[in-house]
Structure 1
Amino acid sequence: MLDASCAIMAGGAGTRFWPLSRYDRPKQLLALGGGGRSLLQLAWDRARALFPLERILVVTGERLVEAVAEQLPELPRSQILAEPVPRSTAPCIAWAAARAHRDFGEGALAAVPSDQWIEGEAAYGAAFARAASLAREGWIVTFGIPPSRPETGFGYVQAGAALGDDAFAVARFLEKPDRERAERLIAGGGVFWNSGMFVFSTGRMLEELRARLPETGRFADAVVAAGAAGEARAVAARFAGCEAISIDYGVMERAERVAVVAARFGWSDVGSWDAVAERGAAEAASGGVLVVCRDAPGTWVRSAAAGRKVVAVVGVGDAIVVDTDDALLVCRRGSSQEVRAVVEELKARGRGDLL
């Protein structure tokens, strides 16, 4: 068990996973990887293995509090931080850092997404132990995924001076590259995919927020000063005024003494239906629905209408099919990132009932 706190970030909308992901049940609340556990529950399982129960926070939107509480019955309600409005990851992490700093004093805090797949518990725990050690030395730490392909959908981290035990000072953060540049980056070595997981000391993060994002810094200071009794008032008064920006752009790319720890565990950001299909293609996850595929190589089917219909695919290869009671998605493999555009069009047409 690590002497540290953990914040699970669980407020995303999951629009790329429509039609299964909806406004009141987004992707982090769905069981996408088999085994019946949602992505949030899997993140909780990992956190419980590493951090004391009383030091685990879940940050989510107000609309999802009941669903989060239902999925995580062991988590005290007071440890669910309900954002009144969406404000990206910097204010989310600011609130968690302020709460942890107020309740436990100066110490390491891990901030992890709720919607990733992780494999290799021992390596995962070792990486977080190393990161917590660096955080206590004043570093802000991110985890770098050794790239397995020239991926254009992730930001990259370029490693600088070695810090020992699979850790490096960050030389620079790199925006999502085109394929040619991604190939050059990988060929040159010393780069990682940016995982979106972080560890830092609460005091150091509060200092960075004050310097880089003044409104967010003032919000965090207000949470600390208000105490438990006044926290809700501080959130109501100040959270909406925070800068709506990611922690990457708001702090990580501008701060000094940022380190990257190489992640030697299995990882996927579960960013689209393609990622799910690649992981589960062999099992053709169907939720119990009878699936009949003929002359449909590489086609993957997922249905939420368990036991009530047959899904038949004939002569359509390399497709992704996601079926629900009120919507059907059919897309070519490699294009599921565009599902978000479908959601935007449905919004424009006033079809909130389908979102």
Structure 2
Amino acid sequence: MNTVPGFRVISLPRNTTVRVHRRSATIVLTLVVLALFVLMLTVATGAYEITGNDLVATFLGGGSDMDQFIVLRQRLPRAVADLLVGAALGLSGAIFQSISRNPLGSPDVVGFATGSASGGLIVILLVGASSVASIAVGTIAGGFATALFVYLLSSGGGKVSERLILTGIAVGAMLASVNDYLITRATLDDAETAKAWQFGSLNIISWPHVIPLAVLLAVLVPLTLTMSGPMRVLEMGDDSAHALGVEVGKTRVWLLCAGVALAAAAVATSGPIGFLAMAAPQLARKVSRSPGISLLPSMAMGALLLGAGDPLAARALSPFQIPVGLVTAALGGLYLLWILTWRKG
């Protein structure tokens, strides 16, 4: 079988094949190893000192009660959540950038993450519920409602991808104002709780926050990967995709649903974390030198970025913990300048 230079064709059961970009596969493996190394470093270090022997004993079921509490109930779930939230945002950003054919296409820029935050704030401030399940329902409902509204406004006619981004930016700006209004009308205690969540933080992460996200990723990631072929064809334009037999409307809707679900699940877990979904796919594409947006490298890059960024943000001004969402928002302007400079080149 003839292969495209730089790719390798892997045969699977039922006479199916998968084409793998060799450099991308190497980059994914490297990023995953680095992310796991960061996870272990995060678990092993911190204000509470623990020796290597005690750390191993804790993982094997021994160690003191304090060791088990700090390592297994505080550090480990937060470190795992860093990787899962980062992977979800990286994959969501890759989906949106692929179907919009624009490096600015990401759930936070086009307003879907803001809509998810609106749903979460409504649950926290108006409904008065703060459980993991209720916030998750609110964020997912808010994200899908926003996505449906934006898609309906931007559909019809040509250049759907350009209108999707512009419409999403406008809707996101309006929803951000709604979010701020909701906080101003809340009681002081509720407003502080909502504002801390809206900043994007993993300070109070525990296993009940992590497990639902892990289950959702276990379902959505394989489904999304099966759509990678049609997604790559969509990057060629709607007319070309139609000519190659891709059902453009149906494929775009399914990809939008997957991207919104991933972003909403990440927001439900950590609150909004800006610019990560936009940066991870472009950085992954840059280092892997792939011809288009790749899903697995974007996931791995997102996991590494948040896995390294969150502990740095938490420990930079110890004992004060900076929400990682504030750090990513502060770095967003520099990233946008980098994107603009790169595109000029």
TM-score, normalised relative to structure 2 = 0.22
Greater helix fraction, Structure 1 or Structure 2? 2
TM-score of the pair, normalised by structure 1: 0.22
Higher relative contact order (CA 8 A, sep 6+): 2
